[in-house]
Structure formats: structure tokens, C-alpha cells
Structure 1
Amino acid sequence: MGDPLLVTGLLFGGMLFFLAVGVPIAITLSGVSIAMIAAFWSPMALTMVPMRAFSTTTSFEYLAIPLFVFMASMLQKAKVAEDMYDAMERFFGSVRGGLAIGTVLICTIFACMAGISGASTVSMGMIAVPAMLARGYGKDMALGTVAAGGSLGILIPPSVTMIVYALVSGTSVGKLYAGGLVPGLLLAALFCVYILVRGWLQPSTAGGTSIRAYSWSEKLVGLRGLFFPLVIVVAVLGSMFTGIASVSESAAVGAAGSLIAALCLRRLRWTDVKSACHETLMLSCMIFWIIIGASALSTFYTGMGAGRMIESFVLGLEVNRWVILVGMQLILLLMGMVLDTVGIIMITVPIFLPIILALGFDPVWFGILFIINMEIGFLSPPFGYNLFYLRGVTPPSITMPDIYRSVLPFIAIMTGAIVLMMAVPEIVLWLPRQLF
């Protein structure tokens, strides 16, 4: 069977090597897993891989992933974000840093609709960044606001990442969604406070004197841009939290809502629907290939007894349980710099969660801490997804070092939020206890 320590070294050493030379994570996970199964078990055991892949990917809950991705793509193509930005500019244009605050609020609303990070990051990168730069905002304020605001999509329900985490960990999706809502809104509020304080201390970074006051009639006209987004948010989250629909069914409600919104706004074109379907197919296939590869890896690793060995080793350490928890957070932060979120979930959750339960921590609370770490991973140099999303849609004058520098204050805020939620678990657990 092989020594668990040897298996651990070969498994993770092989993964790091292939990732370092540029092999995609889905191929790395699948290839290393198949090689290890053939070497340490037998070639006959490889029949387990397709059976495991089929049983994993045919789970009904995973149906929510392509539906939420389609909804996000359609909302982006229907230019819903542009309507929201117009409304926020009218309401916050008279406040120093108001455009940045409005951008965070739009990203928060988008997170409540779409469930992924890329949609709001790309949309706001194309709309908000040029607008803020033209009004005298500093590069770091404009870029950091969009990158950090976009990352809220994996924490605020309906998060696609939470669906994957819930299915791997066996935690209730509904409880995770309820647990992520208050922390997500808290992070959005902390971002806005930071922008206000920064604008007060350094006016040149937050628009300087280029602020404009709108009349109440202009503000009321702008509210039209918030109508469809708020209806979709209420329909998706309301149907889920009231128990009317499951997560997958509420995703279908959102996908239908995005089509209806595009139709009512007279922006429903066949080419956009076709393009949204293509984007959904590509992104969903990428996610599911990572899930397939990582499920094969976790099955092999668990079958070798390595997971139990690590659990016994950690629980045998004569240290405070909070030291172990902090160590896990540091591991997740480091992995978030170089690995895909789904891959991290599939690799670490089967190992971490039994330890967390044995230490007496709440699994929903730990799940939200885990997701916030993944959110930080979207911003962490050198491979944070949101950094590359921004680079792809921002003006040529923006460089990667500009983007790297812009996210550092927001990473610090998120890290502080993790510490706060570790000190006050009720921030996470209050709403799940009320609803469930």
C-alpha cells in the first residue's frame, strides 16, 4: 500500500512541480492521481476514477453552478451593471470617494445576484475604473475597489464556491449561505469606511475636488437602474431562505430572471444568449474538470490512510486548539496565492474538517473563515484571479505592479475581518441559528 508519509511527499511534490512548470491544475490533479493510483494500488483500480467522476458530477446540487454562471454572464451582457453604476453615481457623486463607495455597493448587489467573482470584477473594471480615473481618483483606489468588491461574489450568497465547499464537506448549503451574508455585508461596509477615511486623509486619491451634486429628481430617475437587480436578489435569496426552492432551483429562478430583465430592458439579443451559453459551458467545464481531478486525488489520499495520519498527528500536538486553527488559516492564505479555489477546497477540506470537528469548532463558522481565505486568494499576488481579470479590461496605462499594490489595503482589511470573526463567532453564526 505504501507509507503515508512517502505518499504525501510524492503527491504534493508532484503537484507543485507540474503547477510550477505551467500545467493546468485540472490536468495536474487528474494526472498525478492516476499515476499514484496505478503505482501504489494497481492499474485495475483506475476503474474507480470514472465511477467517482460520474457519481460526483451528477449530484443535483452541482446543477446550480452552470445556472449561476449563465445568470452572471447574461446580466453582464444586458449591461445591468452600467444601469446600477449610473444610479450609484447620482446618489454618491457628491461624496469624496463616492464613486468608489458606489462601486463597492454595486459589487455587493452583483454578488447577491450572480454568485461568482468574475462577473462584477470584469463589468466594473470596464465601467468604473475609467470613470474614476477620469475624475481624478488614484490608480490604487480605483483598481483596489473593483478587485476587492468583485471578490465578495464568493462570500455573499448565492456563492458558487460555497456550493462546492458544502458538497465536499457535507455542510448544509443553506446554513453556509446564511452564515456568509452578514460577514459579506460587514466586509462591504469595512471597504466603504476605508474609502471614506482614505478620501478624508488623502483627497487626491479619491477624486479631489471633482465631485458633483445631483438633484433629487435626477437621483429618483437613476433608481430605475436598481429595479431589476433588486428584484432578482429578492427572488433568488428569498426563494432559497424561505424554503420555497432548493439551491439549484433558486439558481434556475435567477437564470430565468436574467433573461426576463434583458428582455424588459430591450437588450435580449440572440448573439448575447449564444455567447453567454458558450461562456457558461467553458467555465463550468473548467470547474468540473478540477472537481473530477481533485475528487480522484482526495479518494486516493484518504484510501491510503494519509488523512487519518495527519489528523492523528495534529490532534496529538500539545498545543492550544486556536494555534492549530490559525495554522490552517496561514496554510490556506499561502495556497490561495498559487492554487485555484476549487482545487484548494477539494484537497484540504477532507483533511481539515475532521480535525476541526474533533477540536470542537462549528463547521459552518469554519466554512465561512475558509471562504474568506479563498476570497483573499482572489486578490493575492502573483496569481489572484481578480488581478488578471482587471488587467484584461483596464486601460493600457495600468500595469500589473499597479494592480498588485492596489489590493494590499483590502487584503489587510479581510485579514482583520477573519481575526474579528474568530474572536466573535456570532457574526457568522447568528443568522444560521435564526433561520435554521
Structure 2
Amino acid sequence: MSPELASLFLFGGFILLIALGLPLVFALGSVAIIGTYFLWGPQALAMVGLRTFSAANSFVLIAVPLFIFMGCMLERSGIATDLYDMMYKWMGGVRGGLAAGTVLICGIFAAMVGVSGASTVTMGLVALPSMLARGYDRRLSVGCIAAGGALGVLIPPSVLMIVLGLYANVSIGALFLGGIPAGVLLMVLFIAYITVAATLRPELAPALPRGERAAWRERLVALKAVVLPIALIVLVIGSIVSGAATPTEAAGVGAFGAMVCAAVQRRLTVTAVTESARITLRLSCMVIWIVFAASIFTALYTAVGAQAMVRNALTALPGGRWGVIIGMQAIWFLLGCLLDPIGIMIITVPLFFPLARSLGFDPVWFGVLFVVNMEMAYLTPPFGFNLFYMRGVAPPSVSMADIYRGVIPFVAMQALGLALMMVFPGIITALPRAVL
């Protein structure tokens, strides 16, 4: 069977099963197993077991439940509320200060939890009522929270980066280091937009009245809220950067550190640990089963010669090798409007990463570009996850149209950041090369 015909049947079947409501892992695994059977016969099904066993033996997978547990424990430790209170006291007196500060808190929280949903929901519950009560524009308020929450997939430790590193055979430590400056750049762009918008139109994000502003003594006392988060971030990321621990070992350190944080806050209860473990089990099983299905699908799709077909199609684009890279970004953006990041990774990574390597591009740089695109996917209508997270926590006065319109400027900032990272690849690659 030709690669073109195989692609038609495999992806057509996959999309059909997804449209019928079958979960991603079963849609992907079913197509892979059925395709293997009809292409090479029942004896080829041994490959399914071998690929699954090989994926299950990956030491890196242990980091997934550990980082998820770390994020769940931190959610229950009340750190997000304390951080917002600190930011409120320091930045509330500045136009747009609550929105800009919310982005900063989302960035700090992202560096502790590793997933987007936790940051978005937590800050939606904590920050959104405060901003709306103080006259902030609804669209700006929901936009900054949704955009800040999306940083969870880019700023390490990121669960998506762990799966990507395993799936694309790229150093996870290098991806983590490349994600730090990329995340900081996007935070700066978000805050710059908020500042300019609040300056040009003060009614969008008014400063707190003088009577509500905290005294300097209160501000200094509130700084203790950042001690535990910063210590945990330094412990986890520092252990990876220094070479003292692998990402998997650092995940264990982070999980233990999150329990210590909860104990210091006097919130380490049996209920908190049990609920965190239950959520960790559910999310980890989902991620790991997807990895198994993706491994089988990739083996099949590679065997039918799809890589050569995709390479020929993309290299036919005008603009040489940069035309290929831009074409890949456009495909990722379009898929981000329709599919979840794991699904996009499964479909495109086995095809795009070998091609990018063959064209001489740094795989770490290319991997971070992919994660930035997936961060955009959390915000792009109609199916951006963060849009629905915001709908779930926003009051009835905030409509879905407000959420859609609120994220548009932040998607534009993400696109600008992506362009800067492509034009100046050193933004991503300088830190990994200096450290590793």
C-alpha cells in the first residue's frame, strides 16, 4: 500500500473514531492495531506488545505522576491564594497592576504545577472575582488569566515537555532549560500589552483607590508568600540544571517538596493526600495509555513510508528550509484550533521532527517551538481548553463571547513571541548550550 493511501485510511479512521466520541487512546490504538493486522497479517501483531513493553520501560515516564502529584498538592496548600494576596498588595495601586500581577503569579504557579488547567482554574477562582469587583474590563480579566494559565505547558516542569522528550527523543533537561526564557518572553509580552492597554484606556484596568492600597509594612510582610514557591522552583529546576538529578529524580524531589509546603501551611491532611493521589492516578493513566497507543501508531506509520511522503510535500513549499518550518507552524496552529496538544503531538511529531533534524535545525529549539504552538492551542477557538476552563469558573456576567474576544490580543502576543523565537533562535538555545 502506498504511503498516501495508508495515510488516508489511518488518519481518516482516526478522525472518524474521534468524531464518534471514542476517547483518544482507543481511537488511536484501534486504528494502529487494525492497520497492522490488515497490512502485514496476524503475525505482525507481536509488534504491538513489543512497542508497548518498550514504552512502558521508559524511566522518564515515572516523572509524569510525580509532577502531577506535585501540582495537586500545591493546589491544596493555599499557595496560590497567598501569592495573589502578595501581588495585590504590591501592584494593586498601578493601572493594570492586578492583571499584570496575575500573569506573574500564573508564571510562578506554572513553574510549580506543570499543567495548564491547574493554573487557569486556580487563578480564575482567586483573581477573577477580585479584578471584576474593582472595575476591570471583563475581557481583559479573563484573557490575562487564560493566557497566564497556558504558561503551564511551557515553563518547566512541564508534563507536555516530558512526553514530547520521550516521544521525539529530545533531551528533557534541555527542553526545560529552553522553556524558561521562552516562558519569560511571553510573560513580558503579556504584561507589556496589559500595561499599554491600561495606559491608553485607563477604564479597562483602573488602579486601586489610595484608601485600599496596602502600607509598606503590609507589603514587606506579604513577601513571605514567595519564599516557599521560589524555594521549590529552585530545588526542582536547580537540581536538573546542576546535574545533581535527572528530570525524573527532580520530580520526586518536587513531589516531596510539595508535601513539605502543604505541611508548613498546615494543610497536609489525609484528605488532601488522598484526593491528590486519586487525581494523579487518573491523569497519569490517561497520559501513559496515550503514550502506549502513540508508540504503536508511530511504528506503523513510519513503516509504511510516511516520513518520505511528508518530507516531499513540505520541501515543495517555497522559501527553502525556512518555508518548511513556517509551513509546520501553520499546520500546528490550524490543528491547535481543532485537537488537543497530545493528539497533535501524536500526529505530527514523528513526521516533523526527523525532517527538521535533516534540515539542520536544533531539535531543542524546534521542540520549544512546538510547545509554544501548543500553548496557543489552549487559547484558540473553538476548542481551546483554557476557554472552557474559564467558562467553568467565570460568573454568569462573563459570556463565552467575552472569553473568546478576551484571548485574541494574547494569542497575538503569543504569535509575536513565536516569531521572535524563530528569528532569534538564541532566545531558546542559549541557556541549554551554556548549561549542558
Please give the TM-score of this superposition, normalised by the length of structure 2. 0.96
- 1:358-416 Cα deviation digits (max 9, x unpaired): 21211111111111001001111111111122222222333322211111111110011
Task: Give the residue type in structure 2 aligned to 1:99.
Answer: L
Q: 2 CA distance for matches of 1:147 and 1:310?
A: 34
1:186 corresponding residue in structure 2: 185
Q: 2 CA distance for matches of 1:210 and 1:419?
A: 39
Q: 2 CA distance for matches of 1:157 and 1:213?
A: 33
What is the aligned-residue identity percentage?
Answer: 48
1:28 corresponding residue in structure 2: 27
1:38 equivalent to 2:40? Answer no
2:244 corresponding residue in structure 1: 244
Instruction: Report the more deviating stretch, 139-148 or 23-32.
Output: 23-32
1:361 equivalent to 2:361? Answer yes
1:86 corresponding residue in structure 2: 85
Q: 1 CA distance for matches of 2:208 and 2:241?
A: 44
Change beyond 3 A, Cα 1:21–1:398: farther
SS at match of 2:267: coil
1:376 equivalent to 2:376? Answer yes
- 1:112-147 Cα deviation digits (max 9, x unpaired): 112111111111011111111111111111111111
SS at match of 2:122: helix
Instruction: Report the more deviating stretch, 141-150 or 46-55.
Output: 46-55
Contact 1:67/1:252 (8 A) holds in 2: yes
Query: Offset at 1:36?
Result: 1.2
Q: 2 CA distance for matches of 1:226 and 1:209?
A: 22
Change beyond 3 A, Cα 1:96–1:275: same
- 1:152-197 Cα deviation digits (max 9, x unpaired): 1111111111111111111111111111111111111111111111
Query: Offset at 1:210?
Result: 4.9
Instruction: Report the more deviating stretch, 20-29 or 66-75.
Output: 20-29
Change beyond 3 A, Cα 1:319–1:145: closer
Instruction: Report the more deviating stretch, 293-302 or 16-25.
Output: 16-25
1:197 equivalent to 2:196? Answer yes
Task: Give the residue type in structure 2 aligned to 1:305.
Answer: G
Q: 2 CA distance for matches of 1:198 and 1:233?
A: 31
Q: 2 CA distance for matches of 1:349 and 1:116?
A: 20
Q: 2 CA distance for matches of 1:85 and 1:61?
A: 33
Q: 1 CA distance for matches of 2:341 and 2:285?
A: 15
Q: 2 CA distance for matches of 1:248 and 1:342?
A: 20
Q: 2 CA distance for matches of 1:145 and 1:49?
A: 44
Contact 1:291/1:342 (8 A) holds in 2: no
Q: 2 CA distance for matches of 1:11 and 1:315?
A: 23
Instruction: Report the more deviating stretch, 44-53 or 295-304.
Output: 44-53
- Alignment map for 1:85-164 (pairs within 5 Å): 85-164=84-163
1:63 equivalent to 2:62? Answer yes
1:230 corresponding residue in structure 2: 230
Query: Offset at 1:310?
Result: 2.1
Instruction: Report the more deviating stretch, 40-49 or 56-65.
Output: 40-49
Contact 1:25/1:340 (8 A) holds in 2: no
Query: Offset at 1:208?
Result: 5.9
- Alignment map for 1:207-356 (pairs within 5 Å): 207=206, 210=209, 212-315=212-315, 319-356=319-356
1:165 equivalent to 2:148? Answer no
The runs of 5 or more residues in structure 2 that have no matched partner are none
Change beyond 3 A, Cα 1:207–1:337: same
Task: Give the residue type in structure 2 aligned to 1:122.
Answer: V
Q: 1 CA distance for matches of 2:110 and 2:57?
A: 26
Query: Offset at 1:421?
Result: 1.1
SS at match of 1:207: coil
2:424 corresponding residue in structure 1: 424
Change beyond 3 A, Cα 1:228–1:208: closer
Query: Offset at 1:309?
Result: 2.7
Contact 1:137/1:204 (8 A) holds in 2: yes
Contact 2:71/2:112 (8 A) holds in 1: yes
Q: 2 CA distance for matches of 1:314 and 1:335?
A: 16
Task: Give the residue type in structure 2 aligned to 1:137.
Answer: Y
Change beyond 3 A, Cα 1:267–1:21: same
1:406 corresponding residue in structure 2: 406
Q: 2 CA distance for matches of 1:247 and 1:418?
A: 26
Q: 2 CA distance for matches of 1:53 and 1:340?
A: 22
SS at match of 1:223: helix
Contact 2:369/2:418 (8 A) holds in 1: yes
Q: 1 CA distance for matches of 2:286 and 2:142?
A: 27
Contact 1:132/1:142 (8 A) holds in 2: yes
Q: 2 CA distance for matches of 1:116 and 1:385?
A: 12
Query: Offset at 1:199?
Result: 0.8
Query: Offset at 1:220?
Result: 1.0
Q: 2 CA distance for matches of 1:158 and 1:339?
A: 23
Task: Give the residue type in structure 1 aligned to 2:314.
Answer: V
Query: Offset at 1:340?
Result: 2.0
Q: 2 CA distance for matches of 1:57 and 1:347?
A: 20
Contact 2:198/2:204 (8 A) holds in 1: yes
Query: Offset at 1:313?
Result: 4.3
Q: 1 CA distance for matches of 2:45 and 2:402?
A: 47
Query: Offset at 1:316?
Result: 5.8
Query: Offset at 1:209?
Result: 5.9
Change beyond 3 A, Cα 1:94–1:316: closer
Q: 1 CA distance for matches of 2:263 and 2:276?
A: 15
1:386 corresponding residue in structure 2: 386
Query: Offset at 1:14?
Result: 1.7
1:73 equivalent to 2:72? Answer yes
Task: Give the residue type in structure 1 aligned to 2:151.
Answer: L
Query: Offset at 1:306?
Result: 1.6
- 1:298-348 Cα deviation digits (max 9, x unpaired): 110001112223224434666411111110000011111222212222221
Q: 2 CA distance for matches of 1:428 and 1:20?
A: 37
Q: 1 CA distance for matches of 2:429 and 2:188?
A: 19
Contact 2:93/2:208 (8 A) holds in 1: no
Task: Give the residue type in structure 2 aligned to 1:298.
Answer: T
Please give the TM-score of this superposition, normalised by the length of structure 1. 0.96
Task: Give the residue type in structure 2 aligned to 1:175.
Answer: A
Task: Give the residue type in structure 2 aligned to 1:205.
Answer: L
Query: Offset at 1:97?
Result: 1.0
The runs of 5 or more residues in structure 1 that have no matched partner are none
Task: Give the residue type in structure 2 aligned to 1:77.
Answer: R
